[in-house]
Amino acid sequence: MKKIHNRICGFLSAVCLIAGTLIPGQPVCAADRVQSVGEEIVIVIDPGHGGSNKGTQSGHTIEKEMTMVTAMTMYQELEKYDNVKVYLTHTDDRDMSLKERAEFAAGVGADFMFSIHYNASENHSMYGSEVWISCEKPYNAYGYQFGYLHLQAMQEKGLFIRGVKNRMNDEGTDYYGVIREAAALSVPALIIEHCYVDEERDADYIQNEEGFAEFGRIDALSVAKYFGLKSSSLGVDYSEEATKLQPASADSLVQYTLMDKTDPDVCEIELRECDYDTGEVQLTVRAADYDTPLIYYDYSIDNGQNWSRLESWPGSNALTWEYTDTFQLDLTIPGGVRPNIILRAYNLADLYTRSNTLSFEQAIARHTESDAKPDSEENGEPEEIIPAAAPIDHTRKSIGTTTFMPTVDEIGEEDATVGVLTFLKLCLAFVIVLFFIVLTTQFVNYRKRWNRRHRR
């Protein structure tokens, strides 16, 4: 009976998956968890780093300490559920290789290993939350279903979402060691990169230990929902949640997790309006990536010498792969600056494409009310370029359509629509031609009869 139920569910999931990819932007219907588990669920939590491996560091914040607080809280939360066994790969501050972590998880018969991390970027510019999963079947599907559920929770908390992704090395196996080593021992594993420790927008979430602990509670809740756990002490039952996951199949890799290796395909800016007195500049930004969604942009007003901080791309959703392809960007350029504006569009793999440069004929007038930098009015040369790193007022609004990444099926669908239209047009032309032939024949016949009658 269970087998038949599973088959029906599997079939429905497949139907949902196809419907979801054919109807752009439509929310796909819920699906059962692909991963099957026994009566008792074994969860391994891996606090990232430890010992001499400190992880990333920002000010007084050391990653190995942050991950331990998050992992400990996650452990305590998950302990409250029934029929679950929870382990930590380590509880003390020690060196532990990625292989040792995977071996520990395999040793206790883990159903899943969750590796806890915090992020940092080279230019301290990135922000947001992401989940790294395996590129191997069926762990890719398992990771995607958990990652989607978890990042939705992170999104609700207000974090920017950077997607559920996988990264391969040159050998075509998982780039991240803990995932690769675990997969080699048949243990599903993933990495949760909660947020960036070196960016102001994410820093708000990790001001103190309570911030790290809060992430531990969110992680635990996602695990409870993914496995459909119950807790008699908490009086909760998440068994329904495990049937509301994103459709995925154990036999294939999830398209939304496949990483982009190329820069965005289109990025151009166009001047709509410029007020040289106030410095108010309106731009139209057009960009597209045919593989993954666009997630960030930044811009420069001094020909690429200085760049603004990264901003989230309008309409960007790294879970549904939607983004707006055209938007209006309003900038207020400080007085005395002759702008040379460039914009960069970033895709899901953090690869960017530079736009054309918009060079202005003259400088923005000085001594205006809306001058963003009043202290720059009194000094400097008339044509001095003020760095774009100085705060520039900007607003933007979407004027384009939401673009959804086309899948192979969708492209087929589009072609089919074009085919039907062409066929209908041909039919109409044929009917018109037929009508004229009939009309002409009738007319000729009438003339013949008329002539015969008049000859008599």
**Which residues between 104 and 123 bind Zn ion (CB under 5 A)?**
117
CB 164 within 8 A of CB 276: no
Per-residue string for binding with Zn ion, 392-411, x by CB under 5 A? --------------------
**What is the closest distance, in whole angstroms, from the C-beta atom of residue 211 to Zn ion in the complex?**
16
**What is the closest distance, in whole angstroms, from the C-beta atom of residue 193 to Zn ion in the complex?**
7
CB 46 within 8 A of CB 113: yes
Per-residue string for binding with Zn ion, 33-62, x by CB under 5 A? ---------------x------x-------
Residue 14, CB-side half-sphere exposure with 13 Å CA sphere:
9
Between residues 13 and 115, which has the closer beta carbon with respect to Zn ion?
115
**Which DSSP letter does residue 241 get?**
G
- Helix %, strand %, coil % of the chain (to 5): 35, 25, 40
User: Nearest residue to Zn ion, using CB?
Assistant: 117
**What is the closest distance, in whole angstroms, from the C-beta atom of residue 393 to Zn ion in the complex?**
36
Between residues 206 and 248, which has the closer beta carbon with respect to Zn ion?
206
Residue 281: what residue type? V
108 CB burial (10 A radius; 0-12, 13-18, 19+): middle
CB 25 within 8 A of CB 320: yes
Q: Closest by alpha carbon to 258, among 234, 293, 227?
A: 293
CB 288 within 8 A of CB 315: no
**What is the closest distance, in whole angstroms, from the C-beta atom of residue 335 to Zn ion in the complex?**
45
Between residues 206 and 405, which has the closer beta carbon with respect to Zn ion?
206
CB 145 within 8 A of CB 248: yes
Between residues 55 and 188, which has the closer beta carbon with respect to Zn ion?
55
**What is the closest distance, in whole angstroms, from the C-beta atom of residue 112 to Zn ion in the complex?**
18
**What is the closest distance, in whole angstroms, from the C-beta atom of residue 201 to Zn ion in the complex?**
19
Structure-token pair, residue 285? 């930004």
Count of chain residues binding Zn ion (CB under 5 A): 3
Between residues 117 and 180, which has the closer beta carbon with respect to Zn ion?
117
What is the rounded distance in angstroms from the CA atom of residue 248 to the CA atom of residue 98? 28
**What is the closest distance, in whole angstroms, from the C-beta atom of residue 234 to Zn ion in the complex?**
30
Between residues 66 and 287, which has the closer beta carbon with respect to Zn ion?
66
Does position 180 interact with Zn ion (CB under 5 A)? The reply is no
Between residues 55 and 163, which has the closer beta carbon with respect to Zn ion?
55
Instruction: Kindly report each contact of residues 233-239 with a partner whose C-beta sits within 8 Å and lies 24 or more positions away, as own/partner.
Output: 233/80, 234/80, 234/81
- Footprint on this chain of Zn ion (rule: CB under 5 A): 48, 55, 117
